[in-house]
Chain A
């Protein structure tokens, strides 16, 4: 046990370096997911089938297939189509488009949660559809869906451990590397788990804080 603890302490810096990569991947993927999800979510509600059908297919396909398969498809599959991505961008893209599908569903629910009268009031003042969405509906929708978005970001942070399989030395992979050298599986995986928890817990606190700040008196 003393050995296990010593290994963990000695390699803790290394694990922290890995967690920095985890944070980098996750934060870029979160932004991507938000961006994609906002537009796909609005697309699902569009009157035009030209918008709503592709959005529905996007959501169903990405939600209905394993993230691991999607990561492999992008990193190992795309090169046969002539698209060669390095591991890091491949990982970010896979996580980002996957998260986009979940965010899209959350955004759709969020838009539907805002009273229809809000949209009509905005339009009755002469706003275009886009202005009404941008200034009236989406700000309210985002306030309503913040807890759900927080969940999604936490899930994404944890799911980012999957990209260790394409050789990115993020937190999970860093742990595996240390274990392959030291065989201290218990303390290292335990340490890895604790660092993930520290990150997700902080994230959930941040979301809670933002939620409180946006809540109207």
Chain B
């Protein structure tokens, strides 16, 4: 397997608050990594650092073998290769679904409008929302908005997709439709890092799981081992809570 992402000794402070205390991570092409952990453990911050939406104070991040220099303009090009899906979707409310999808490919990649529109139709079909192509985000349900957001990220042909609690803001009955799209994506070979509390999804789709607590990675294991032999008290406690609601 070819390594696509490597994080070395990542440290992050929010002012005085020490959020990430030396994160080491690697990801191979096609791998699905699921990150779980209590809130405030640094899961989202780690994702946001990988995409450089957050500055970090120490450590190195390599993408496709090359060290990312946060200060260089390269970051815009790298971001086109790293898709991001947010908890609150962040569709552009002033644009129709189609325009949400084609904006970045046209403006950033210089794709023609016709080509982008064709591609948008294919991706909307894939997430089951072709009929919403002319709708505004406000007229979609949360689950539909998140599926559009996934399609929007896929428009850039990313090499990795980052999911930051993609179903946490959804009504329970809408969660499955988003998870179904994500499963489909994982099966198609997409490299993914998913921060989630959906243990069923993790068990079924993850190649590897990470448990984070207090800004550190506590455990890293394949799903079988991860769930059957929790190595750490804090993790056992967390899993007990989340699995036996």
The yes or no verdict on A and B being binding partners is yes
Q: A residues within 8 Å of B by Cβ?
A: 115, 117-118, 120-128, 131, 135-136, 139-140, 143, 214, 216-217
- Tell which of A117, A128, A135, A139 has the most Cβ of chain B within 10 Å: A135
Whether A127 contacts B108 by the Cβ 8 Å rule is: yes
Whether B136 contacts A216 by the Cβ 8 Å rule is: yes
- Tell which of B103, B107, B138, B152 has the most Cβ of chain A within 10 Å: B107
User: What residues on B are CB-neighbors of A140 within 8 Å?
Assistant: 92-94
Whether A131 contacts B138 by the Cβ 8 Å rule is: no
User: What residues on B are CB-neighbors of A118 within 8 Å?
Assistant: 90, 92
B44 to chain A, nearest CB (A): 12
A120 to chain B, nearest CB (A): 5
Say if the beta carbon of B77 comes within 8 Å of chain A. yes
* Total of A-B residue pairs, C-beta within 8 Å: 68
Give CA–CA (A127, B80) in the complex, Å.
Answer: 8
Give CA–CA (A131, B84) in the complex, Å.
Answer: 18
Q: A122-B92, A123-B79 are in contact. List 16 more A-B contacts (CB 8 A).
A: A115-B90, A117-B88, A120-B90, A121-B90, A121-B149, A122-B104, A123-B53, A123-B76, A124-B82, A125-B152, A126-B108, A135-B103, A136-B103, A140-B92, A216-B138, A217-B136
Give CA–CA (A136, B136) in the complex, Å.
Answer: 15
Q: Count B interface residues, CB 8 Å.
A: 28
Partner of B86, one of A117, A128, A131, A135: A117
B120-139 near A? 1/0 per residue, CB < 8 Å: 00000000000000001011
User: What residues on A are CB-neighbors of B91 within 8 Å?
Assistant: 121
- Tell which of A121, A140, A143, A216 has the most Cβ of chain B within 10 Å: A121
Say if the beta carbon of B153 comes within 8 Å of chain A. yes
Say if the beta carbon of B10 comes within 8 Å of chain A. no
Residues of chain B in range 83-124 having any CB-CB distance to chain A below 8 Å: 83-84, 86, 88, 90-94, 103-104, 107-109
